[in-house]
Amino acid sequence: MSDPRPNYYDAYLAILREELVPAMGCTEPIAVAYAAAMARDVLGMRPESAEIRCSANIVKNVKGVTVPNTGGMKGIATAAIAGIVGGKAQAKLEVLQSVTAEDRIEIKKLLSAGFCKAALAEGIEGLYIEAIVRAGDQSAEVVIADSHTGVVRIRKNGVTTFELGKAAAGEATAGEVSAGEATAAEALAGKTGDSASAAARHDYALLNVKDIVEFAATVDLSELSELLERQIFMNEAISNEGLTNDYGASVGKTLLAREGEGVRSRARAKAAAGSDARMGGCALPVMINSGSGNQGLTVSLPVIEYARELNVGKEKLLRALVISNLVSLEQKEYIGKLSAYCGAVSAAVGSGAAITYMSGGGYEKIAMTITNAIATASGILCDGAKSSCAAKIATALEAAIMAHEMSMSGRGFSSGDGLVSDGVENTIRNFGHIGSIGMRPTDIEIIKVMLGE
């Protein structure tokens, strides 16, 4: 008997399960810590030195953000040393959750001693991290590319023991592979589901607004409710932390103090406050979207606040979160994980679409909201992860909420208004092309300025 479900149904389930995972701190320094911790495990002993080579986009997103659980320290070397000293590679994007007060003393000592050297991986774009550790005549290397836990190569003492998609030359037998190497190999084989395999990329090509709306309305929530409820719980917890204490520039607290407790203000402030805390080194985990904690906060917290205001109930909220997460992921599929195009924009667009859905809007109004929002806020630049990300989130959400209000009044931008085209899918593709291809030279210049070149 043939499966009566549409071809996108299982694909969308798999995408959500793959993308909505917990992470502690900004995902770029966490990815550095993860690579370093895994390299230590492959080495099988405490390293005497470490070297990190990473792409300019990683440099950009690590430079200005506090590494969690380090007592306020920043930088690539800090993240790598923290992973080596106290990290648990098995925890993936929560690798630094295990760092202790004693570890922090050791991290500071090794940082001062020049234990870890950090360098730019010349000519490599996107997400790339190479962690090399040494002890005596022993060495180990782990390379991450394309996704924050996507290990693509493992070497020990110059011998490749794992290479994604290839039978590695000199590959060790099962009996010779260390525990660290086995953990990495299992992850890369897809057994832990921590990064998309090349074979699964076709699932993302199935993302489109019409099917996303249909899927959200019909999906059996028993298959997703635990995941989505974790997103609500984790992301609200760090948002409340940001509203309670002072982190970064306290954008969330400022919004509430200046604009009051209306739903528009709350929606923006809650998301901004989560980013305030996260960029300020708060150790609480968040559920990410598109590999980003800030995007995970932006796709969820405004939707939660509007659900409360509209009194739509838990089921409607969960279905709205499906829309928000998937609409954001569709845009990022065109833009890429790291770009000069601020990811808060695509995440805010997802929230706007979900708010329209909860307000009774069908596909046409949701599509109009997406078009309105992208056309308004697409020019926000990404100049790295840092405290001002919270303000960019608030700004992108202001545009998304306005886009929602316009669409509910039947008002929207038309084909020919700049990059707006016939149909929401063509508009998403147009802006995705600009974000991935058109803004590539902009990204290079941003990085040059940040590196003082």
The CATH number for 81's domain is 3.30.1330
The tokens describing 205, both together, are: 């090509």
pLDDT at 437: 85
> What's the pLDDT at 338?
74
**79 within a domain of the structure (yes/no):** yes
User: Is it the case that residue 272 has pLDDT exceeding 90?
Assistant: yes
Of 179-188, 334-343, 390-399, the least confident: 179-188
107 against 386, higher pLDDT: 107
Domain boundary among 163, 188, 213: 188
What integer pLDDT is reported at residue 198 of this predicted model? 41
For the chain, the straight-line distance linking the first and the last C-alpha, in angstroms and rounded, comes to 63
pLDDT at 200: 54
Is there a single domain that holds both residue 210 and residue 99?
no
Q: Could you give phi then psi for residue 386, rounded to 5 degrees?
A: -175, -175
pLDDT surpassing 80 at residue 25:
no
10 falls within a domain? no
Q: What mean pLDDT do residues 65-92 have?
A: 90
d(CA 286, CA 33): 17
Residues 206 and 182 in one domain: no
Report yes or no: 286 and 238 within 8 Å, Cβ to Cβ: yes
In this structure, the answer to whether residues 426 and 376 fall within a common structural domain is yes
Has residue 266 been placed in a domain?
yes
Q: Model confidence at 60, in pLDDT bands (50, 70, 90)? A: confident
Percent of the chain with pLDDT over 70: 90
In this structure, the answer to whether residues 181 and 207 fall within a common structural domain is no
Fill in the amino acid letter for 85. V
- pLDDT at position 113 is 94
Asked if residue 182 has pLDDT above 60, the reply is no
The percentage of the chain sitting over the pLDDT mark of 90, rounded to a whole number, equals 61
d(CA 104, CA 283): 14
Looking at the predicted structure, is the pLDDT value of residue 194 above 70?
no
What is the number of domains present in the chain?
A: 2
Instruction: State phi, psi for 247 to the nearest 5 degrees.
Output: -130, 140
Whether 391 maps to a domain, the answer reads: yes
The answer to whether 30 and 83 have CB atoms below 8 angstroms apart is no
| Containing structural domain, residue 298 | 202-450
* Domain stop point among 159, 188, 217: 188
- Give the Cβ contact number of residue 452 at 10 Å: 5
Token readout for 128 is 């790339």
- Higher pLDDT pick, 68 / 273: 273
Tokens linked to 232: 């609500």
Distance between CA atoms of residues 132 and 292, nearest Å: 25
In this structure, what CATH number is given to the domain that contains residue 356? 1.10.4100
Task: Determine the number of helices (DSSP H) and then strands (DSSP E) in the chain.
Answer: 18, 8
Residue 194 within any structural domain of the chain: no
Distance between CA 118 and CA 85 in Å, rounded? 17
pLDDT at position 402 is 97
Tell me what pLDDT residue 189 has.
Answer: 37
Candidate ranges 271-280, 359-368, 374-383; pick with highest mean pLDDT: 359-368
The predicted pLDDT at position 177 comes to 40
| Selection from 227, 369, 239 nearest residue 297 by Cα | 239
The secondary structure element, H or E, covering residue 287 is strand 285-287
Average pLDDT in the chain: 87
Measured over the CA atoms of residue 100, residue 103, residue 104 and residue 107, the dihedral's sign is negative
Give the residue-averaged pLDDT of 322-346.
Answer: 90
